[in-house]
């Protein structure tokens, strides 16, 4: 990095030595999920940069969706936390868990204490279907079901009615596959995972025998990845039902599928599933395509059935293939509906928001003052709140690298403003003066040890603590 930095006209001049040992760059990262950790990693790897980074997280526990989103029966995906642990152990990285942005610290506080702030807060809500009956009791966002079975403290007290024989899952992405799989998997298999105990108890009592997954477009347009789809066919005691007629593609879909390795592989897997004879009498997972929910019907004040409309595919002007209702409708009785049509970003206090795209407006990670607006010096984004809720965990690595490149450019160009209180002690003083019960990474390690020790006793990776008060007690805060 060139060390001859110049302040931008109109901003407070910065020292030309910013980012050196004498004058380290101070960075706040809001959010300790994959996007936050990969941002820290990219900063640590930046050559010729001395920095000190504070990571803030709303929950006491780190890792974001790796802990609260990744399915409990996918432990290998969670191994990435070992890397995050190494990152958090670096002497110039501090973790402040149990700190809520906008309540315990706000944007102004961070800009007063850091040269640069990165918002990596993810997408905290879900997309809506916009159909009648969506809000009936028994109709839930799949993201809530996921958070519940993964022991997210905000969802511990939710309940999901598993007393009806059929559940309907709407959507054809990996989250839909996850929730459908958890509903049909033998709970005794889940008992060996880190699934939350309350969810395991409920799933052991579940009467759900059939899960119907509805894809509004065809099998060539499924958003699920092939490994996840293939896994469905290996579930013990579960018949996966695919109608071979659904796999006959229209010419546009066939042409589109030819261009995608994932679509080709998915179609092979689906053909294999369609050719199988159901073994019965276990659970069934039915994959229906070209089917949209038109309405969720009520029975006794709650979900009783789903009216499903058959779709056809049409080519939109942009060349994309979209679905269109045919008017041909059937009704599926069901007691539970999980709407798995995508996560959705929500605004955070005092930071601009693009309410059409549901993300913080940005140019390659530099926050803008509005969609299409000007760059806000010192403010950056990474992960889902930057690009929308897409991709796998690893996608956040190049995403964070792009953001960090912009941060380094800003430092080099003298665009970073000078905070009033950059000393690391100043943030601790602020949190303590406000009596914020923040936790450190060492505190988290205590909880981690308790969870894994309890897990060892039960032959599980860990037994999750699912209440914040109990977490803080164990952490000694
Ligand atoms: P997603 O991949 O975007 O899938 C959303 C699904 O909802 C699509 O099939 C979409 O259909 C459908 N949909 C949207 N609006 C709809 C509507 N109004 N009616 C019916 N269907 C509708 O989202 P996701 O499943 O929530 O996953 C989020 C991200 O996390 C993805 O990138 C996913 O791969 C990732 N993830 C990965 C894993 C893993 O690696 N194991 C696990 C979970 C999640 P259209 O295609 O027609 O829009």
Instruction: Convert the chain into a string of H (helix), E (strand) and C (coil).
Output: CCCCCCCCCCCCCCCCCCCECCECEEEEEECCCHHHHHHHHHHHHCCCCCEEEEEECCCCCCCCHHHHCCCCCCHHHHHHHHHHHHHHCCCCEEEEECCCECCCECHHHHHHHCCEEEECCCCCEECCCCCCCCCCECEEEHHHHHHHHCCCHHHCCCCCCCCCCEEEEECCCHHHHHHHHHHHCCHHHHCCCCCCHHHHHHHHCCCCCEEEEECCCCHHHCCCCHHHHHHHCCCCCEEEEECHHHHCCCHHHHHHHHCCHHHHHHHHHHHHHHCCCCCCCCEEEEEECCEEEEEEEEECCEEEEEEEEEEEEEECCCCCEEEEEEEEEEEEECCEEEECCCEECCCCCCCCCECCCCECCEECCEEECCCCCCEEEEEEECCHHHHCCCCCHHHHHHHHHHHHHHHHHHHHCCCCCCCCCCCHHHHHHHHHHCCCCCECHHHHHHHHHHHHHHHHHHCCCCCCCCCHHHHHHHCCC
| Distance between Cα 405 and ligand 1 center (Å) | 29
| Distance between Cα 424 and ligand 1 center (Å) | 41
Residue 13 reports pLDDT greater than 50: no
| Distance between Cα 372 and ligand 1 center (Å) | 27
Compute CA 259 distance to the chain's CA centroid, rounded to the nearest angstrom. Answer: 28
- Nearest CA to 37 out of 109, 118, 114 is that of 118
For 345-383, the pLDDT digits (tens) are 999 999 999 999 999 999 999 999 999 999 999 999 999
For 261-308, the pLDDT digits (tens) are 999 999 999 999 999 999 988 999 999 999 999 999 999 999 999 999
The owner of tokens 């506080």 is 109
Query: Confidence band (pLDDT; 50, 70, 90) for 16?
Result: low
Query: Looking at the domain 127-343, which fold is it?
Result: FAD/NAD(P)-binding domain (3.50.50)
Residue 8 reports pLDDT greater than 80: no
Residue 2 reports pLDDT greater than 90: no
Residue 1 reports pLDDT greater than 90: no
**pLDDT value for 316:** 86
Domain ranges of the chain: 3-124+345-438, 127-343
Mean pLDDT of 128-156: 98
**pLDDT value for 440:** 98
Which residues have any ligand 1 atom within 6 Å of their CB?
129, 170-176, 178, 215-217, 221, 223, 225, 228, 292, 340-343, 389-392
* Number of other CB atoms surrounding residue 164 within 10 Å: 20
Across 110-119, 410-419, 426-435, 460-469, least confident range: 410-419
**pLDDT value for 10:** 38
Note the CATH number of domain 3-124+345-438: 3.40.50.720
8 Å CB contact between 210 and 283: yes
Residue nearest to atom 38 of ligand 1 (CA): 174
* Number of other CB atoms surrounding residue 394 within 10 Å: 12
For 64-103, the pLDDT digits (tens) are 999 999 999 999 999 999 999 999 999 999 999 999 999 9
**pLDDT value for 12:** 44
Query: Confidence band (pLDDT; 50, 70, 90) for 451?
Result: very high
**pLDDT value for 4:** 38
Residue 52 reports pLDDT greater than 60: yes
Residue 138 reports pLDDT greater than 60: yes
- For residue 377, give both structure tokens: 């010096």
- Nearest CA to 57 out of 108, 96, 90 is that of 96
Mean pLDDT of 165-193: 98
For 205-257, the pLDDT digits (tens) are 999 999 999 999 999 999 999 999 999 999 999 999 999 999 999 999 999 99
**pLDDT value for 6:** 31
Nearest ligand 1 atom to the CA of 222 is 9
Residue 173 reports pLDDT greater than 60: yes
**pLDDT value for 3:** 47
Which region holds residue 138: left if phi is over 0, alpha if psi is between -120 and 50, else beta?
left
Q: Which of 122, 218, 223, 253 is the pocket-test mutation for ligand 1 (most atoms within 8 Å of CB)?
A: 223
**pLDDT value for 161:** 97
Residue 14 reports pLDDT greater than 60: no
| Distance between Cα 127 and ligand 1 center (Å) | 10
Mean pLDDT of 396-418: 94
Q: Which of 127, 170, 173 is the pocket-test mutation for ligand 1 (most atoms within 8 Å of CB)?
A: 173
Question: What pTM value is reported for the model?
Answer: 0.95
| Distance between Cα 139 and ligand 1 center (Å) | 18
| Distance between Cα 42 and ligand 1 center (Å) | 28
Residue 11 reports pLDDT greater than 50: no
């Amino acid at each position: 990095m060139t060390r001859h930095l110049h302040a931008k006209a109109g901003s407070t001049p910065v020292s030309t030595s910013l980012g050196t040992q004498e004058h380290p760059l101070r960075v706040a990262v809001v959010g300790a999920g994959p996007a936050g950790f990969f941002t820290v990693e990219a900063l640590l790897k930046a050559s010729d940069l001395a920095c000190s980074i504070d990571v803030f997280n709303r929950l006491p526990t780190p890792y974001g969706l790796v802990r609260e989103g990744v399915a409990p029966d996918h432990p290998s995906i969670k191994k990435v936390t070992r890397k995050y642990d190494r990152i958090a152990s670096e002497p110039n990285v501090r973790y402040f868990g149990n700190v809520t942005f906008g309540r315990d610290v706000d944007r102004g506080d961070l800009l007063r204490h850091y040269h640069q702030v990165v918002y990596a807060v993810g997408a905290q809500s879900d997309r809506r279907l916009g159909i009648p009956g969506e809000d009936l009791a028994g109709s839930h966002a799949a993201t809530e079901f996921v958070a519940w079975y993964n022991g997210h403290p905000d969802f511990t007290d939710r309940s999901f009615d598993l007393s009806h024989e059929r559940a309907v899952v709407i959507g054809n992405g990996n989250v839909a596959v996850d929730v459908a799989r958890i509903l049909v998997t033998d709970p005794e298999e889940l008992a060996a995972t880190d699934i939350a105990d309350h969810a395991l108890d409920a799933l052991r009592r579940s009467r759900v025998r059939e899960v119907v997954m509805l894809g509004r477009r065809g099998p060539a347009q499924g958003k699920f990845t092939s490994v996840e789809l293939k896994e469905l066919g290996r579930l013990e005691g579960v018949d996966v039902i695919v109608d071979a007629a659904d796999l006959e593609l229209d010419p546009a879909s066939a042409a589109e599928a030819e261009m995608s390795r994932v679509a080709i592989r998915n179609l092979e897997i689906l053909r294999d599933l369609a050719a199988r004879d159901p073994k019965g009498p276990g659970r069934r997972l039915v994959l229906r395509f070209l089917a949209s929910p038109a309405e969720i019907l009520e029975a006794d004040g709650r979900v009783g059935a789903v009216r499903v409309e058959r779709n056809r595919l049409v080519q939109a002007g942009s060349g994309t293939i979209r679905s269109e209702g045919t008017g041909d409708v059937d009704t599926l009785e069901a007691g539970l509906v999980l709407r798995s049509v995508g996560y959705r970003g929500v605004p955070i206090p005092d930071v601009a928001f693009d309410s059409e795209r549901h993300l913080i407006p940005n140019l390659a990670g530099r926050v803008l003052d509005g969609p299409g607006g000007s760059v806000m010096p010192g403010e950056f984004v990474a992960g889902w709140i930057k690009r929308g809720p897409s991709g796998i965990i690893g996608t956040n690595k190049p995403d964070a690298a792009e953001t960090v490149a912009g941060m380094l450019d800003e430092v080099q160009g003298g665009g970073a403003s000078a905070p009033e209180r950059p000393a690391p002690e100043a943030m601790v003083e602020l949190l303590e003066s406000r009596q914020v019960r923040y936790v450190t990474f060492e505190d988290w390690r205590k909880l981690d040890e308790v969870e894994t020790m309890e897990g060892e006793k039960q032959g599980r990776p860990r037994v999750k603590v699912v209440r914040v008060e109990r977490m803080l007690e164990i952490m000694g805060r």
